[in-house]
Structure 1
Amino acid sequence: MAKQFTSLDAKHQEFIAEQHLFFVATADEGGRINLSPKGGDALRVLSPTRLVWRNLTGSGNETAGHLARVNRMTAMWCSFEKRPLILRAYGQARTVHPRDEDWDELDGHFPPHIGARQVYDMSIEMVQTSCGYQVPFMAFERDRDTLDKWADDRGPHGISAYWDERNRETIDGLPTGILPE
């Protein structure tokens, strides 16, 4: 049965730290809902009511476009390896770009990466756990290095050009704020 909490307790934080994958969902007032899987060393719990996750350059930029209009986000983790559990954090989030004043502080929680595009700073309003009984068992093999190699091959100028070409708008045409106007 689902249980609700006002913040992440120590057991929730331990569970999050054990997961190799999490999911993030956002939506604006209309248009498409975005649900993205995230892996690698991309998330930090800063307090029981605050988490940050770093977004690397990718094919879409839906989260930034959605948060510019409606600053709500859901993050979700589920256990594939141990006891069944699904954990969701609901809250409001803001997008921090490399040009923003607090970029260095927030991005500093993560190892350097040439493809770092945004950090999302989420204030948690509610946490919910549920059973996860139907989530299958799957074993973690390793993180992929494909995105790292892609970013290294492009270099800083190539990544900036990619942002300009592919990351300025969401699939629904919303501006993402990836580059200053």
Structure 2
Amino acid sequence: MADHNRYEADPNRVAIVLPGARYTPAHPLLYFTRGVLHAHGWTVQEVWWEPPALSDRAAVSGWVCDQATAALDREKAERLLLVGKSLGTFAAPVAVERDLPAIWLTPLCGERYVTGALTTATAPTLLVGGTGDPTWNGDLARSTKAEVLEIPGADHGLETEHDPVNSADILRQVVGTVDGFVARL
């Protein structure tokens, strides 16, 4: 079951924000992405969820896609955008199927449900990951048609251990890249 927080702006442009397993929309990457989207006039629909304990990756992917589809189907907007962090990137097939632009933060590049979609996406897509994240594959990301921001040494939270100042600099870089990407949509 998912809850939703909504930040109104232009009702004809709606961004759906899908969190990670333990990375909620209140965490910095998604919080500031919401701020960027809202500043550019997008209505933002945050999905808050508690993922079920599923060990089968197909079931996990299906559950996330169902959550994304349900959120998208509630919208009557002319333009839609998907944003996902980690677990939320399992919704990449939904973005491809609907030809939606997307922002994928720390996409799960080792999951075939995600990589298959990333490699076939034709709508504007931004992929953000760090070289210190075992779920990131920079070569795969660069082989797609997506815009790519790769952060040297950044982990799955796009931070660097024991260096909060550098982690804040990384956050600023990610937010600036997201801002530029959203401005071009």
TM-score band, normalised by the shorter chain?
A: under 0.3
- For the pair shown, the structure with the greater C-alpha radius of gyration is 1
More helix by share: 2
Q: What TM-score does the superposition give when structure 1 sets the normalisation length?
A: 0.25
Greater relative contact order (CA < 8 Å, ≥ 6 in sequence) = 1
Q: What TM-score does the superposition give when structure 2 sets the normalisation length?
A: 0.24
